[in-house]
Structures are given as structure tokens and as C-alpha cells.
Chain A
Amino acid sequence: MVNQAPLTFYGDGLPGIDTGSLIGKLIVVEGPDGVGRSTQVGLLRTWLEHGGHAVMDTGMARSALVGKTIKQAKQGNTLGPLTLSMFYATDFADRLENEIIPALRAGFVVLTDRYIYSSIARASARGSDPAWIRQVFDFALRPHAIYYLRADVQDLLPRVVYERGGFDYWESGMDVRLGKDLYESFVRYQKRVIRVLDSMAKRYDFQIVDASRSPDDIFLDLKKRITRLLKAASGSARRKPARAEAVARQAASPSHAGLREVAGV
């Protein structure tokens, strides 16, 4: 399913943002820890740029405002589950307003390695009220597409153990003590996160991508879906040539070619 209407906010939205001027594409890759999201985002970025699209990618804890603070706080032993959720909400808001929205305004394809859904799932898995945390994040834009890389815990284990060299404290939910050791806690915590993500699929219109397959197969699948999305987008932009030209004129970045492609000029 391809959404071509102008972007909208889930809730009341951000003060002072005109969503009509956001002409880029917002594409989300979601899924549990170790499912291979960042690999896919890297592959997609290269592929899209080869196709002439200007691409901006972003992901959690990369904000200028609190990115470093989150990493530091995670090194200590005092960070509580509520504070962790609020940190991620702050991080997301900073990236949304200072990275994602400006890129969308300039006609970029914004690829985001996780969005609000992981944060909602993690907070819920840690015992927060799901309705509360959903509303906290309702200042977010509804993306054009959400690809949910769906896998079971068993599929995540080889990647986490062999490629990353072991279990991360936070990805194992050790702060909420779900098991006797990292392995046990990881399995229980990720099961919870996956269960919550599954339950969110319908509400947020996730496109479910089977991530138990090889990275190559997943990439092929994602390329097919994104090609369809962008084709439909350039079709709708052609019907509004005045706007697309204005946008192309405004663009002063080296990614001109990509911009034209996205805007369908």
C-alpha cells in the first residue's frame, strides 16, 4: 500500500510546522535488535543514491542534543526505565525537527533505522503504560512506509552472538532483570519487544518483511517495495509541476540530481 497524501502528524503535531512543504519521502526500517536493520539501511542508501536520489539516513541516539548523553547515561548504573524512555523521546524530537523535517522539505528520501515504534515497544516491554508512551510520541510524522523486519528470537541469536560478539546489557533488558544472565534476559526481553511490535503492526500500518531470510533476499524484497513507492511518488509529483520546479530551484546542495528524481522533474 502506498501513501501519497501529504504527510501528517499522528497527534497535535509540532508547533509551527507546515507539513504541506514536506515533499520528500519518509521511509522507516523497524525491527528488533540484531535483525539486520542497519545492514539493510546501508544497502538501501547506496542503491538509492545510485538511482539518483538524495538520501538522508538517521537512527536512534544520534541527535546533537542528547546522543552523547544517552551513551554516557547507559554506562552508569542509575538510569531508570522511565528516564530511558524520555531520553529517547528527546533524541527523536531533536532529530525530527533538525534533521528529518529539513531533509523532507528539501525533497530527500529519509531512511530511518527505527522510528518511534521501537521506543514504544521497549517502553511497553519495560512496564510503561502503552497508551501513555504512544501519546508521548504522537508528535511524530506518519511515514510513507514502515518496513517491519519480522523475525523470532531464534533468528536474532546467531547475529548477536557471532557478529556482534555477545549480548548488550540494554538490548537484553538487564535493567529490568528479566533473567538470571544476559542470555536468559535477552531471550525474554526480545520476545516481549517482538510481541509488542507484532501487536502494533495493524495500528501503525507496518509492512511486514520476513527477516528470517538471507540479507540478500531481504534487500531484494525491500528494493521492490521502495521502487513501487517512489514510482507512485514521481507520478503524483508530475501532476504538480509548478511546485516541483520551485523546489528544484531552491535546492543548493550537491544532491541536485537526486532531488529532481524525487520531485519527478
Chain B
Amino acid sequence: MNRIILKNSVKEIKKSYRRFLSLLLISMLGVGFFAGVKATTPDMQKTIDAYFDKEKLFDVKVVSTLGLTNEDVEKVKEIDGISDVYGIYSKDVFVNVDDVDIVVKVIELTSNINNVKLIEGRLPKEKNECVVEHQMIARENIKIGDNITIKEELEENEESSFYERDLVVVGTVDSPLFISNDKGTSTLGSGKLSYYLYTPKSNINSDIYTEIYAAAQGAKEMDTTSKEYSAYIDDIIDRVDKIKEERQDARYNSLVGEATEKLDDAEKELNDKKAEGEKEIADAEKKIKNGEKELVDGQKDLADAKEEANTEINNATSQLTVATQTFESSLATFNFNKEQAEIGFREAESKKTELQNNYNQVIAGLNEVNSQYDQVVAELANPLLPTDQKIVLEETKAVLEAKRQELNGTASQIQAGIAQIDMSVVAGRQELANGENAIAQAQAEISNGWNELNSKKAEAEAEFAKAEKEIADAKKKLAEGKQELEDAKKEFTEKVTDAENKLLDARQKLTDIEEAKWYIQDRSSNSGYDSYVSDAQNIEKLGDVFPVLFFVIAILISLTSMTRMIEEQRIELGTMKALGYSNASICLKYVIYALVATVIGSIFGMLVGFNLIPSIIISMYQMMYPSITEAVVEFNVKYAVLGLGIMAVCTIGATLYSCIKELVSMPAMLMRPKPPKSGKRVFLEKVPFIWNRLGFTEKVTIRNMFRYKKRFLMTIIGIMGCTALILTGFSIKDSISNLMNLQYDNVYNYDGMLILNSSLRENEIDDLITKIEEKSEITKVAKTYIVANEATSEKNDYKVDVQVIVTQNKEEFSDFIKLNDYKTLEEQTLNDSEVFITEKAAKLLNISAGDSVELTDKDGNIFEAKVGKVVENYVYHYVYMTSNLYEKIYGEKYSTNILYIKTNNLSETEENILNEALLKDSKIASLTSTRYLKNLLSETLQALNKVVYVLIVSAGLLAFVVLYNLANVNISERIRELATIKVLGFYDKEVYDYVTKEIILLTFIGIILGLFAGYGLSGFILKTCETEPLIFKVVSLPISYVISSGITIIFTAIVNFMTFFVLKKVDMIESLKSVE
């Protein structure tokens, strides 16, 4: 029997394959979408769990305000439930890329915990190597092999935390510590951490850790997003909390003790140095005194020597003068004598001349005598000469001889006289010469004496001069030395006081050291983890709405299908009953039919849904969470059973209900045609004005619609649902893009934000502004101070991260950020007594104008401010105030750290050029362009947009299946009627119109209702999806209405087109058959 029923079912399936198929498709869509979207959240959770397990992400993290030590690590390790503990050092630094300082976290590379995933290149081995976040390569102008330099903000005397600060990028990684593009905050730069990089431990110059990461025993087996895991980790955190106090104190004491010791050492050293310095000064002073004495001695010596020398010189001079005088007198005497002598000489000369003359006369007489003699001799010699004559001649000769004798005597006398004169002259001359010689000698002696004296004098003078100079030099040197000593003394005192002050300061500071504070955190401290979890939950919320709608529609459709099918087959039902089959057996056929369709459809749906939808959605979220790349897509038994179960229960329930409803009747009743539903007049007929104008088919259509209320409702609900879903999809998309437009057009008016270097003084900032204002592209500049705070209120326990924006110029502030009342949208101006808070923050804190808000700064100080206005804003949270109010509230002087700029409607390239030029100024630490932010935000929101496309496509498919199914039901239900009008001679087109007019009308009604429903649904879904920092204003662009309607219309058209062919095939023989 069962075999036959089974066979019958199979035959039925073959016969009515279209109905079967549509039932199958609708189950597939309903279950697939439901299961797929529902499974997305667990899949996302499993994905992150698998990722964390794989990379061994910590379970418990400890950070301390005073750093952590090895001892801390050991103590944490001892805690029950903790398996592995690692101390890690990390530090936020600047990395300069393209003249922009980017805030980057440098993390010590470890294995065994928080493992990085290598994307490109290799891991660093040397201490001058690093791996950077993969995104950094993608977004910044850096590539593997490049050198980057890290720049720390070091205090005086602070050592760098890294041995190597010029690092080679050897690879790129993804870290499980930062799964989101948003990496949290930093104390550097603009306060936003941009990237991270890892460097080996060997490059870390620190004996403390900044973080302790611990793995919990057995936590890996638990799902990180599960309550079980949270509870387990909370227990461990409680246990860590127990050792907290002790460790904090230990750290504080060791730090203070160490520092005190150091300070004591320093003090001792200072005192030593001080004594040493003082001794040195004393020595120097002594030396100077000695020098002074020596100098005085030297001066005295010199004076003595001078005196002595002068006396000596004077003596010598007087002696010499006397000598000279003596010499001069003797010279005069000599000269007189010489003159006398000369006169004597001249007299002697004249005597001599006289004598000579006499002599010459004598000689001449002699000569005459001689010649006479000779003549005589000669005459004598003449032998012929008479002897008388000879005697006369002899006598004459004798006389002559006597004369000659006489003359010779006289000549000799004269000659002797001459000789005597000559001799005396010579002697005189000799004497004179001797005298002259003596004179000359004396003169020489005297001049030598003078010379000697002079040279000696000169020498002495030179020596004195030298000595004097030496003394002067010594004096100068001494003076210099004195000055130097004075300076040194001053410096020394200064240095000593300085050092002493410093020591005092240090001691003061030591007492200022705050107690160590431990922060024990779980994985939610991981930047992005919470947002990932909440994103997953958002999808879950989405999954509560969308697939349920899908499901409801699918169930409604399959319900109608089955009911209709059973109604069509009442005769068979009756026959079976008449044949004696039990009600259960009769129902079985239909139950099998429905079950097969549902189960096959559902299984297909699940296979597709479980695989496709989560992977699509997860891959879309990858844009926001780039490091989560391996999607875990699982067959989710819970939702499989739930989906299939609900679907099957509903369809089978509907089948059984219809069967039983029919089977209560007697077989005979069943075999007779079911009394046709009576036609009814519709209210419209009471309006003849319209009714009479309607064409014939219109009338039929309208009547039909009211006659088959179930089908009518089904169609409308189906189409309404689909249109609503599609419109919702588009509305979400519109609202998201509108969000940016609202934020960037209605709120942000500025074009760029310049983040200034923190060390600038007010006048430097003014200079910078003047310089910036000179640029023609820039129309306006505003000094602003921005700081991140946490806002709370008395109304609830909510904590909101807000940016406090402080302006100096409240009048012109609207040129940069428009402060519009969130309700009236009227522009507001800040005042000096109240702050303005943005809409979402106010809502979260449950406060409104007139209430007060508490702002907590990063040091934990709490300030209270009165809220003046709640202002329009869509992204993030802000608190606005004037600088006067800021100073009043925070008790701190206002200082500019941000400049807002407005530009002249620049194109993107122009803007880039301007920004580049601006960033060349070292005073500007970084620059954020509004355009860039807008693009970034739109990129993030794109992910959600794509999810929306999934919705749209699915809703479209659903629309198609619904319409197809309805068309089929419509035709099969009216097959007799259609065959009849065909017999009556209706053209194909007319038959088509006869049927589809109704569908078209219903489609339009459905679309219109669907557009309303869609608007409502969008609001609901957007509220559901709204994440903390956002406000979604439901916006559906007219075009979205058009497109949503269009898609439904297109599907209707396709279905109608298919109907046309189905109708063409309707066999007129059907009209001859008895009513079944």
C-alpha cells in the first residue's frame, strides 16, 4: 500500500513538476537565505575564533602604568588556569614616510603568542630589520627592502628603547592584535595609531615589559565569543586581580628604591665632585696668589736691577765723560803742539830749504870748483903743459883742492844741518804721529767706551723691556687666570646648585611617582575585536529580520500551493476514501509530495546558503578586518534543523490541514465538484460611474481579486514583501551614502585639518598661520584644540568616547564645523558657559540641553560641563566648547594643536599638491583632508553596501519565485475557465490579458504597499544595524523607489512572459472535463 502511495506521489511530482519545482525553489530560497544569514554570525564568530586560535592570541593581557618585570611574568605564570605567559615590549613611535610623520606601534616580535602571519617577504632576524603591517605597504609609499627610521619622543637623558632606529623592511605581516583598520589610539601625533611594525627582541633596549600576554589553559577549545569563554576568562582575570596589589606595590617599591639609591649615589657623587671642585678652586686661588707675589717680586727685582744698571751706566757715563774731557783737552794740547810742531816743521823746512839752497850754492861752487879742478886735472894731465903752468896749475889745483875741501866741508856741514833738520823733523813728525796715534787710540778707546756703554745700556733697556713685558704678560695672565677662576667659581656654584636642584627635583619627582596601576584585560582590549563581534551581532540582527521575512513569504507560498493542490484533487481524495483508504494513508501522498519538495529544496538551500552567504558577508567584512582572511564556513546544524524543521512543519501542517479539511466530507461529496465559490458583487459596482467605464476584463479582474481573497492577499503580501526587501536594501545603501553626505556637507565645512607639532609656541603657530594664509588656495584658517575624552552622565552608566573640540573663535567656527540644532537644524553659536554635544552621544548618555555631562581626560580627571545644545552630527561623537570655557572647566591654559583650513573648491589633484606643500613645513605633523576621510569612510561603508546587494539579489529572486508560483497557482486554479474562454474564441493575447491583468494589478498594489513597508522596514533595520558612533537617517532616494518597483515589475514581466507560453499551451479539452 505504501508502495503504491509512494508511486502515486512520484507520479504526481512528475505530473505537476512545475508546482513541485516552485515549491522546491521556494523552500530552497527560504531555508537557504534563513540558514545562510543566520549561520553568518556563528560563522563569523568561528572565523575569528579559528584565527585567534591559529595565531595564539592572548587570553589575558596585563599592562601597567609603571611597566612590568620578569618577576611579574613569573607571578602571573603561577596563577591557576594560566598556561603560558610572555612579557612583550612595545612603543609608539613616529615613522616618517613621504615627509609625513605617521604614528606606528613598534612591537617586539615573539613566537608562541600573538603570532603574526607573514604575508610577503620574511621575518626579521637581525636587529636592524623589521616587518610592517601589510596595509602599510599597500597604503604608504613603502616597499620591502626600504629603510625606515623610527623617531621617538625622548625625555632628557632618556635612552632610546631601540638599539637600531634605522630599520630595513624585510616583509609584511598581519597581526592578530589589530584585526581592524582602526588600530585605536596613541599618545603621539594626532592620537590615532596608524600602523604597527615588528622588530626582533634583540633590537629592544629595555629591561621592562609594557605588556604581559597570557594564554589560558584550555581556552583554545572554547569559542572566543562564547559566554563560556568570557566566564572562564573573567575567573582568571579575577585571580590575576588578586596578585595585582602585591605586584603593583613591588614594582613601585623597586622603582622608587632603585631611584632613591640612584639619587643617593648621585648625591654622593655630587658632594665628591663639589669637594673636588672646591679644592681645585682653592688650589687655583693659591696659585694665583703665588703668581701675584712672584709678580710683585719680579717687579721689585726689575726696579732694583734697573736702578743698579742705571747707576752703573751713570758711573760709566761720567767716567767716560771725564775721559772724554781729558782726551779732548789733551787733544787740544796735542793739536796746539801739533800746530807748533807744524810751525817748527815749516821753519825747519824753510831752514832746510835755505840750507838746501846754501848746499846747492855750495854744490854749485863745488861743481865749479870740481869742473875747474877737473879742467886743471885735465890740463895737468896734458903732458905738454908747461910745468910753470903746471905749477901754477898745481897751485891752482891745490887752491882748488883746498877750496874743494872747504866747500866739501861746508857741504857736509850743510848736509849735516839738513840731516839734523830732517832728523829733528822726522823725530818731530814721529813724535807727532805718536801723539796722533795716542790720540786716535784714546779716541777709539773713548768711542769704544761709549759704544760699549750704549750697547750695554740698550741691552739693559731691552732686557728691562723684556722683563717689563714679561711682567705685563704675567700680570695679564694673572688677571685672566683670576677672571677664569672667577668664572669657574661661578660656573661651579651654578652647576652645583643646578645639580642640587635637580637632585631635589628628582627626589620630589620620586615622591610624585604614582603607585603602579595594573590593567588586566581580556581580548576585548584588542582593537577591532569588539567591533567585529558587534558587527557579527549586527548581522545576527539583520538575520532576525530579513530571513524571517523571507521565510514567512516562503511558508505562505508553499502553504497556498499545497492547499490549492489538495483542493484540486478532491475527487482523487474522495475515490481513495471510497476505496477504503484511511485518512492517514490518503494524506500520506501529499505529505510525501510536500516533504520531498521541502526537504530537497531545503537541503539545496542550506548547501548554497551555508556556503555562499557567510563567505560573501565575511569576505565583505574583510575590507574592515583585513587580517581575517580565512573564513570558517560551517554546516550549522542548529539552523539547518530549524530552517528545515520550520519549513517542513509549516508545509506539512498546511498539507495535513487541507487534507483533513477535505477528508471530513463524505466520499460522495468529495467526488462531486466542489461547489464553486460564488461570485460576489464588489463595492465598486455601487459606483456605476467607475464600474460602467471599466472594460469587461477589468471587471472580471476586479471581481476575481475579491473572490479569491486568499490568493489576492498572498500575491499582495508576496509582492509587497519582495518590494519591501528590495527597497530596504536600497534604502540601507542610500542611508549609508547619505550619512556621509550629511556629515560632510551639513556638518563638516572644513577641507582639511592640520595637526601641529606638539612643541610649538603660540607665536610660532601665528607665524605658521600667516604663512598658510598667504597661499591663494586657502581661504580660511582656524586655531583649534582637540582632545579625546570619555563622556559619561548621571543618567546612565554608558561611556562614550568623544572628541572635545575647543575653538578660539566661536563666531567663525561655523565656517569649519556647522553646529546645527539636531531637531530644528537651525545654526547655533557656542557660548562661554555651555558645551554643545552631538546627537548620538547625547542620546547614548540620555541627556539633553540643560543637563550636565562628565568628561574624563586620559589621566582620569573628571570635569563637569553644562550642555547648551545638542547638535546635528552623524559620525562619531563630539563635544564643542570655546577656549574660555575650556580654561574654566579644565583649569588649564588653552593651546592650539590643530588648524582647520578651508580651501577654494580645489580639485583632488590641486588639493594633493597643496597638502604636499603644507606638509613640507616641519611645524605640521600631519594633515587630514576631509576628502580623504570621506573616501575612507565610504570605503568602510562599502562593505555594508555589498551586504545590501546580497539582500537585493536575494529579494529579487524571492520576488521572482513568488510571482512564478502565484502565476502557476492562478493558472492551474482557473484552467477550466481559461480553456472555456479559449473555446469562446479569445486570442492568445486576450487570454493572457484576462489572466495577467489581475497579476499586474496585484503587482502594482503589492509594489505600492511594499514601498511603504520597505520604508518602515528600512527604519527598523537601520536602527538595528546602527553602530555606536553612527546615526542613520532613513533616506530612500526616489530612484531607489523606482528601481525597487522596477525590479519587481521586471520580475513580474518575466513571469508574465512565461505565463504567456503556459497559457498558450492550455488545452481546450480541459473545458470539456467535468469539474474536479
Co-complex (A, B): no
